[in-house]
Structure 1
Amino acid sequence: MHVRGTLSPSAITDLLEETTAPIRVACRTPQDNLWMCSLWYRLEDGAAEDDWQLQCATSAGADIVSFLESEPEVAFEVSTNEPPYTGVRGRGTATVEPDPEKEALRALLERYHVGTASELARNLLSEERDEVTITIAPAVVYGWDFADRM
């Protein structure tokens, strides 16, 4: 992974671990149109400081799943919504894997403070719903922090 911008690799991972704004994922449709989707995410640490992936969960029937299966290259951004703005953006490759036990979804429900007992969680975790995990392996990452400018 190539890291650029004003944030160090450790500051980027700290920001990704601490920020609970959704990730915005851009991809292409099979008709070569652009598509943007916001998803919950979590950081999956690797062996080195700049060796990590981003993991999301969604319904197996979501449009983005078929788009990523057709064209796995993505761009993404995680950024704060309030000043001073800080964030991470980049590009990479997404893979889609079935998640029959909904492990990624359960972890995301906890990360985003929804819990597994809420009505939303019960609907998402229902046996009738097929779930997948989307894993984004970044190739290039750019981190920024505009605190000094604001």
Structure 2
Amino acid sequence: MQLNPKSPWDEPKIVQFLETSAFPIRLAFLDKANEPLICSLWYQYENGVLWCASHKNSFLVSRLKNNKKIGFEVSTNDYPYKGVRGKAEVELSMLNTESTLSTLIAKYLGSGNAQLSSWLLSRADDEYVIKITPKTVNSWDFSHRMKK
């Protein structure tokens, strides 16, 4: 991953934020008319890669099959605003979907909402794992000017 030299955070701080953040990732991609769209997904960061999942019939998956380049952002929703954004390449796979879904469910639902967890896992055979490999990354942190 190439870090923007103007990034206020170094790579270890970016990795820590991505590993510990429970905010969804926002993916920017192009629709059929080459207009930008944004989609929020659950993600897991591991060893330089962001992992997500989406149903095989989702609009997102259909677009990612045609264009493997995306923009992404993981950021706080409340002030002080801070986060990580960048450009990445995507790989789609139908391997290890149940494991990926289980990891995402544990991160975002924990032991709560057993009904949703069961429903999501019941669809594992119809899910794609989305492997997002960041190419360029930048962070921002407005903490110094936005005191709580």
TM-score, normalised by the number of residues in structure 1: 0.89
In structure 1, give the amino acid aligned to 2:3. Answer: V
SS at match of 2:119: helix
- The residue aligned with 2:22 is 20
Identity of aligned residues (%): 35
1:94 Cα deviation from its structure 2 partner = 0.8
The alpha-carbon deviation at position 113 of structure 1 amounts to: 3.0
Instruction: Give 3-state SS (helix, strand or coil) of 2:16's partner.
Output: helix
Q: What code does the residue aligned with 2:29 have?
A: C
Distance 2:3 2:124 in 1: 41
My pick for the range that moved more, 114-123 or 68-77, is 114-123
In the superposition, the TM-score normalised over structure 2's length comes to: 0.90
| Equivalent position to 2:58, from 40, 51, 62 | 62
Aligned length: 144
Number of the residue aligned with 1:108: 104
**Structure with the higher helix share, 1 or 2:** 2
Residues in 2 aligned to 1:24 and 1:7: alpha-carbon distance in whole angstroms: 20
In the TM superposition, residue 128 of structure 1 has moved relative to its aligned partner by: 7.6
Out of 32, 35, 44, the residue aligned to residue 33 of structure 1 is 35
1:31 aligned partner, one-letter code: A
In structure 2, the residue matched to 1:141 is 137
CA apart distance, 1:61: 1.2
2:94 aligned residue: 98
Q: Which amino acid counterpart does residue 65 of structure 1 have in structure 2?
A: V
Q: Which residue of 1 aligns with 2:45?
A: 43
The match for 1:126 among 122, 128, 137 is: 122
Report the residue type matching 2:99 in the other structure: E
| Displacement after TM superposition at 1:89 (Å) | 0.2
The 8 Å contact of residues 30 and 70 in structure 1, kept in 2 or not, is answered as: no
Please tell me the residue identity of whatever aligns with 2:139: G
**1:87 corresponds to:** 83
Question: For residue 2 of structure 1, what is the amino acid of its counterpart?
Answer: Q
What is the alpha-carbon distance in structure 2 between the residues aligned to residue 116 and residue 106 of structure 1?
A: 13
Kindly report the root-mean-square deviation, in angstroms, between the aligned alpha carbons of the 2 structures. 1.7
- Structure 2 match to 1:3: 3
- Gaps in structure 1 of 5+ consecutive residues: 46-51
